[in-house]
Chains A and B, each alone.
Chain A
Amino acid sequence: MKIKNRKTKETTFPWFGMDIGGTLVKLVYFEPKDITAEEEQEEVENLKSIRRYLTSNTAYGTTGIRDVHLELQDLTLCGRTGNLHFIRFPTHDLPAFLQMGRNKHFSSLHTTLCATGGGAFKFESDFLTMADLELHKLDELDCLVRGVLYIDSVMSSGPLECYYFENPTDPDQCAEKPYALENPYPLLLVNIGSGVSILAVYSENNYKRVTGTSLGGGTFLGLCCLLTGCSTFEEALEMASQGESTRVDKLVRDIYGGDYERFGLPGWAVASSFGNMMSKEKRESVSKEDLARATLVTITNNIGSITRMCALNENIERVVFVGNFLRVNTLSMKLLAYAMDYWSKGQLKALFLRHEGYFGAVGALLELLHPS
């Protein structure tokens, strides 16, 4: 019944797109700013209440957050103008979210909730039983690709969505620069969430998942929690920013005294991640910050290596990194930019997008408005 509704031009408000990942739930919400007086009158109380709740707060409960800096204002979507909001909360708080939906009588609005990510499948029955909501489930990679291409296209007017690091191999000269992602194909799209998926995108409707790795954002946080006792991504990143990974990792120069020239390996390259930790004395001399930093460097460089091999195998030169692992994580972004540039001798370019982790949710919203 709801699906039929979507076929008409006017899709019923509220407009949501949701991406339920292994660690985080990402929610995008379109707030119409062009509501006519007539509409205002017809608008039911429940809908108003939801709009007010979402737009007047930047935090929800103890863990929900609205990324205000990502908000897209005066966006025209499906003939309507309004603001697009970006909200996230941990997946383990999904029950609280559902409870809230129940309290706010979300189901009375008879809207379709388009959801993607593994959680759309895993929690489908919870949505039904706890909040009386039926999900329209969508494939996460379809949504991701669609979301990336859409956001990039609408951002062409304002500050560019896409950017890269100039002079990635020179720490003093390294600077963020906007990048116009015109004629983006072919493109290697690396989504770093809890795990990592790597896609080769040839056109809007033609992409394939090349491979993936289980060493992703979840691994960084999981290992940091075990090694340092921290509990949040922000804490882990903060520690990492203060640590020194070379006390933990064994470098080429630790083994060869300098470069290993025969194989073109520079002395600063990591020979063995956590390699120094084989020694008891060194284990006792490292700090939590060092361990957090080494974990970050290990995971990031590994993603870099696998990405580079995929780019070579697929013969693609442009790589776009997305996913919430990169949120507020300039360290990793610079490392990736460096690794792509250095090991490919300048052949590969690492690109980043401002809306890092929200593309799946955006894709889900687009599916609501323009079913493919």
Chain B
Amino acid sequence: MAECGRVDSNTSGHTMDKSITLPPDEIFRNLENAKRFAIDIGGSLTKLAYYSTVQHKVAKVRSFDHSTKVHDKLYEIAVQEEVTARLHFIKFENAYIETCLDFIKDHLVNTETKVIKATGGGAHKFKELIERKLGLKVDKEDEMTCLIKGCNFVLKNIPHEAFVYARHADSEFRFQTTNPDIFPYLLVNIGSGVSIVKVESEDKFERIGGSSIGGGTFWGLGALLTKTKRFDELLQLASKGQHSSVDMLVKDIYGGSYACLGLTGDLIASSFGKSATADKEFSKEDMAKSLLHMISNDIGQLACLYAKLHNLSRVYFGGFFIRGHPVTMHTITYSINFFTKGEVQALFLRHEGYLGAIGAFLKGAEEDNPNQYSWGENYAGSSGLMSVSPDMNPMQRARSGTFDMLEMDRLERQLVNLPLLQDASSYIPDTVDLTEDAQAREYWLYCFEEALDGVVKRAVASQPDIPEAAERAEKFRQKYRHKLQTLRHQPFAYGSLTVRSLLDTREHCLNEFNFPDPYSKIKERENDVALKYYQKAVKSLDELSWEDRQFAIVKGVLAGNVFDWGAKAVSEVLESNPEFGFEEAKRRLEVYPGSLLQGPPHRCALFFVDNSGVDIILGVMPFVRELLSRGTEVVLASNSGPALNDVTNSELQILTERIAAMDPVIKSALREDRLTLVQSGSSSPCLDLSRLDKVLAMVVRERQTDLVIIEGMGRAIHTNYYAMLSCESLKMAVIKNSWLADRLGGKLFSVVFKYEVPAGKAH
């Protein structure tokens, strides 16, 4: 009984605004290579989507041929241009359509593009304008199909896409963990009417019901009752009203509650029941509030009845009635809680407004097979979720003229779950949710802001021969500082705020300004130095008794992990005291762990490594060597792309070859395929075990991995500290941050050594 769609735009007017407050080239980025345009025109907002390619500078390492010539350097670092795919989504008010189309026309170089996919209620209205301005043929796509396609895409590719809304909680938004199995779910789209759609798989969905009482009813009836024209103003009125003066409550009929049915006195018995009189005046606010409750409760009730009938527990709400409005998210949430007694939670989506445009784009890009890749939200290029709550963000009312953006990068590798997670659906990578922990948030935001000067300095130093590096570094500083400021006010902008997301945002911003690997030279130097000590280190270990060796090996990994440019306390020591060495680090360690590696050997160990230099070469490698000599196969997982001084997969390939040349144990293990190097699929100093390289997952399965070792603060403390694995695991790190050490009840340079055996799997 309802349309799926949007509101026609006759209420919002046709006046075209020629002024855009932001420079358009910062909005419509990478237009030169843009293709596969799609547009979704709703009642008041237009969403544009296109595919483009981005030229990036990437640092590549390449081994010298050491047999023919003696090189003073370990390996060659070459900065190369690399082309990656990126999806751009831009949302703006309909008033800017003409200006935007003109801008696109002027900057569109690619002549292959012939069509633009279009959806949304306004698509037919602007068809002629689009065809005339862009010279592209408008190809209309079914609105609901686009919506569902878009919804599947964001649920699969964007972590923390869905959230629960809790108005009075410490954090307004509670993000849901990403569950790889997104189906089945119910999508309740509240446009002018309501459509209730059951989605069972990528291509299978069905409109199972709907209602004519929707956003259009709120708007239309609200306009009649209050003489208020705009939807937003009606919501404003509603947020100030008291519905009990208009509605007949249970207590108005019973004098109190209707206890034997469990109906409380404040429950609405009859919406507008008190206005059945000709001789009383009611305030606009009160009527608007009553209307909002009436409609939200009604939709919530129907959604619950459909969810129950089809046995579905995941119910997402979208449409212009919801679109980020805290008032409606609150009333819908309330209604769902009431009707399901808390069994079903109302879920909302961060990128709800983009679903139609994303879906239309995907329809047009089917030949590129976008669904066979993994995509990631680019924090540098995306605006993030804004609070439209008037209390939280008074500036929001004057938002017209601003543009909202979402950018997604095509990831080189397809990402999947680590098969060894005990329960993938409940796995949360991050240890502390800074969205909820205000004290920790305060500290980390301060910490990242403090560290910014150093990062900028390092970035400039990494490109000494490029004069404009300083200028770019300055732009990076501004961008990242602005991100930090946004996050201070709106910690929920990109999902749950975590140390990982702060680090990833910084990496995205550095890449944005072509600082692909600021630590490449430091890493090289440190790798070089560490390699020189390798043989000596191994020899001294080999001289120890078995028991002393186990002890020394573990101590070595931890001492090696102290060498970390990402940790403020350490980078200060390293900056000021270049003589600071491995032995010194060992002396600084506060606690020594007990011995490991008793009992029968493991079949295969998966080792997530951390830093370059001493850490990987003098810490990790002797450990690996010991495992190999016990008959345990080893899979070394390192980053696919650079992040801080973390060792990358390509660097590790070279280092391992060099070590193999010195060490027969490693050499034979490589030859016999007992030591394997894989990339993690990540370019982060942290580790999300639910987004790992598909090949890694395959290797882990094939080798019947029965031990997982995770090393370092980023991977074992900030993330995965609480991760539950289905096999034995060891999490090792040195706490290189005094605030965190305090929090955990230890001292700076305390050791975390967490060895866990899942119940029933004693080694």
Binding site for B on A (CB under 8 A): 21-23, 117-119, 121-124, 139, 141, 193-195, 209, 211, 213-219, 221-223, 225-227, 229-231, 248-250, 252, 255-256, 260, 262-263, 265, 269-280, 283, 291, 298, 301-302, 305-306, 309-310, 312-313, 343
Contact = CB atoms under 8 A, between A and B. Distances in A.
A258 to B, nearest CB: 13
B268 A214 contact: yes
Given A219-B270, A272-B2, A273-B216, 18 more contacts: A194-B248, A195-B269, A213-B298, A214-B297, A215-B271, A218-B270, A219-B272, A222-B274, A222-B276, A226-B287, A256-B3, A273-B193, A275-B192, A277-B223, A278-B8, A298-B212, A298-B217, A302-B298
B438 interface: no
Interface stretch (B254-262, B451-459, B521-529, B653-661): B254-262
Interface string B1-18: 111110110110000000
A85 to B, nearest CB: 25
Interface in B309-350: 309, 339
Given A214-B294, A255-B5, A270 B212 contact: yes
B489 interface: no
A273 B144 CA distance: 20
A256 B268 CA distance: 36
B76 interface: no
Contact of B216 (A21, A23, A122, A278): A278
30 contacts: A21-B253, A118-B250, A118-B254, A118-B255, A121-B256, A122-B254, A194-B253, A218-B270, A219-B273, A222-B246, A222-B271, A226-B275, A227-B224, A231-B276, A231-B277, A231-B279, A250-B216, A265-B2, A270-B2, A271-B1, A271-B3, A272-B2, A273-B217, A275-B217, A276-B220, A279-B10, A283-B223, A302-B213, A309-B305, A343-B1
Interface string B260-292: 110000001111111111110010000100000
A274 B260 contact: no
B532 interface: no
A218 B273 contact: yes
B302 interface: yes
A110 B275 CA distance: 38
In the A-B complex, the 9 residue pairs with the closest CB atoms: A277-B220, A222-B272, A218-B270, A122-B255, A118-B253, A272-B216, A218-B273, A274-B220, A275-B216
A19 to B, nearest CB: 12
Given A225-B276, A275-B193, A209 B261 contact: yes
B207 interface: yes
A225 B225 CA distance: 11
B126 interface: no
Contact of B1 (A123, A301, A313): A301
Contacts of A222: 246, 270-276
A57 B10 CA distance: 57
A309 B309 contact: yes
A337 B309 CA distance: 22
A18 B277 CA distance: 24
Contacts of B221: 223, 273-274, 277
Given A231-B278, A274-B217, A306 B302 contact: yes
A21 B223 CA distance: 31
B192 A278 contact: yes
A193 to B, nearest CB: 8
B308 A225 contact: no
A1 B54 CA distance: 91
A182 B246 CA distance: 42
B190 to A, nearest CB: 10
- Highest count of chain B CB atoms <10 Å: which of A22, A121, A260: A22
Contacts of A252: 3
B211 interface: yes
Nearest to B280: A225
A302 B144 CA distance: 23
Contacts of A302: 211-213, 298
Nearest to A92: B277
B646 interface: no
Given A22-B248, A298-B213, A271 B11 contact: no
A277 B273 CA distance: 22
A263 B282 CA distance: 40
Contacts of B261: 141, 209
A313 B142 contact: no
Nearest to B195: A263
B99 interface: no
B212 A249 contact: yes
Contacts of B3: 250, 252, 255-256, 260, 265, 271-272
Given A272-B193, A273-B213, A306-B305, A278 B248 contact: no
B225 A226 contact: yes
Contacts of B298: 213, 215, 302
A117 B309 CA distance: 31
Nearest to B260: A139
A305 B1 contact: yes
B701 interface: no
Interface residues on B, range: 35 or more
A283 B220 CA distance: 8
B507 interface: no
B187 to A, nearest CB: 14
Contacts of A291: 224
Contacts of A209: 261
Contacts of B219: 277-278
Contacts of B339: 211
A309 B209 CA distance: 10
Contacts of B248: 22, 194-195, 218
A216 B301 CA distance: 14
A313 B2 CA distance: 21
Given A275-B217, A302-B298, A312 B309 contact: yes
B98 interface: no
B732 to A, nearest CB: 54
B280 to A, nearest CB: 9
A248 B221 CA distance: 10
Contacts of A215: 213, 271, 294, 298
A194 B258 CA distance: 15
Contacts of B214: 272-273
Contacts of A223: 221, 272, 275
B214 to A, nearest CB: 6
Nearest to A122: B255
Given A272-B193, A273-B216, A302-B211, A265 B255 contact: no
B297 to A, nearest CB: 7
Nearest to B5: A255
Nearest to A231: B278
B253 A119 contact: yes
B132 interface: no
A22 B193 contact: no
A302 B1 CA distance: 10
A273 B269 CA distance: 21
B121 interface: yes
Contacts of B294: 214-215, 219
Nearest to B226: A226
A195 to B, nearest CB: 4
A223 B308 CA distance: 31
B301 A262 contact: no
A124 B272 CA distance: 25
Contacts of A122: 253-256
B229 interface: yes
A272 B212 contact: yes
B252 interface: yes
Given A277-B223, A280-B229, A309-B309, A216 B1 contact: no
Contacts of A141: 261
B407 interface: no
- Residue of A139, A219, A265, A312 most packed against chain B (CB within 10 A): A219
A271 B272 contact: no
B213 A250 contact: no
B246 A194 contact: no
A229 B297 contact: no
